[in-house]
């Protein structure tokens, strides 16, 4: 598997992709685009990501960690949107196939956001799943610290990387951002944690549009 080029999404996956967000975002000012994106996340992000947090809570917790760590605007935006693919595919834990079937939410999310954001936003989105494989491969204690849902999806997503895969991953620009994002992703599943609301990220997201 290569990670540096867009992989073609199969028609099996494409049929699950909701086109409405992109259609709406294509029109209007940057301000309007953020409105559309945030409304969509607010509305569609109420389903559960795993046992303890909703998709929206997960996104907000991840973005808050990025912001607390003084990440760039693009990486904060990437953190906020890293799992947008799950929402676009309507994948959530009420659907029993969620995490058992891999619909490549990372690739769906990255490709979907490419017309709107630069590579510094979309590459960490695209790589946050192989980043988990990379970290599991290079850091023995990392895998043990994953949530049960994340351990399950690790297997579906390909398991341990070969040396060749690891080297290919390290050649991709922004791969370190993806590793950083991945560590926040793993921490962003805290039940009942109060997080800053979406509106906090309006200016940050708006300045990242291409």
**Residue 38 is encoded by which pair of tokens?**
């945030």
**Which pairs count as long-range contacts for 92-97, CB under 8 Å and 24+ apart, including other chains?**
92/47, 92/48, 92/49, 92/55, 93/47, 93/48, 93/49, 93/50, 93/51, 93/149, 94/47, 94/48
In the bound state with Fe ion, the residue whose beta carbon lies nearer, of 83 and 165, is: 83
Q: Does 91 bind Fe ion (CB under 5 A)?
A: no
> Residue 188 has which token pair?
């962003």
Between residues 164 and 176, which has the closer beta carbon with respect to Fe ion? 176
H-helix or E-strand spanning residue 182: helix 175-187
Q: Which is nearer to Fe ion, 83 or 107 (CB)?
A: 83
**Candidate ranges 14-22, 117-125, 151-159, 183-191; the one touching Fe ion (CB under 5 A):** 183-191
By rule CB under 5 A, what count of residues binds Fe ion? 2
CB of 26 to Fe ion, least distance (A): 26
Site for Fe ion in 44-63 (CB under 5 A): none
Examine residue 185 and tell whether it contacts Fe ion (CB under 5 A): yes
Q: Which residues bind Fe ion (CB under 5 A)?
A: 83, 185
């Amino acid at each position: 598997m290569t990670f540096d080029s867009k992989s073609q999404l199969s028609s099996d996956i494409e049929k699950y992709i909701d086109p409405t967000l992109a259609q709406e975002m294509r029109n209007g000012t940057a301000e309007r685009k953020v409105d559309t994106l945030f409304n969509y996340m607010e509305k569609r992000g109420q389903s559960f990501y795993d046992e303890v947090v909703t998709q929206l809570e997960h996104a907000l917790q991840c973005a808050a960690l990025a912001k607390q760590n003084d990440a760039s605007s693009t990486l904060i935006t990437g953190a906020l949107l890293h799992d947008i693919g799950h929402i676009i595919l309507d994948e959530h834990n009420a659907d029993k196939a969620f995490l058992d079937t891999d619909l490549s939410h990372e690739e769906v999310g990255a490709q979907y956001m490419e017309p709107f954001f630069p590579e510094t936003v979309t590459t960490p989105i695209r790589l946050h799943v192989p980043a988990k494989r990379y970290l599991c491969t290079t850091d023995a204690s990392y895998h043990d610290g994953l949530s049960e849902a994340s351990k399950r999806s690790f297997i579906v997503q390909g398991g341990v990387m070969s040396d060749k895969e690891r080297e290919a991953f390290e050649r991709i620009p922004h791969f370190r951002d993806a590793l950083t994002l991945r560590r926040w992703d793993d921490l962003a599943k805290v039940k009942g944690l109060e997080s800053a609301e979406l509106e906090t990220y309006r200016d940050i997201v708006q300045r990242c549009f291409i």
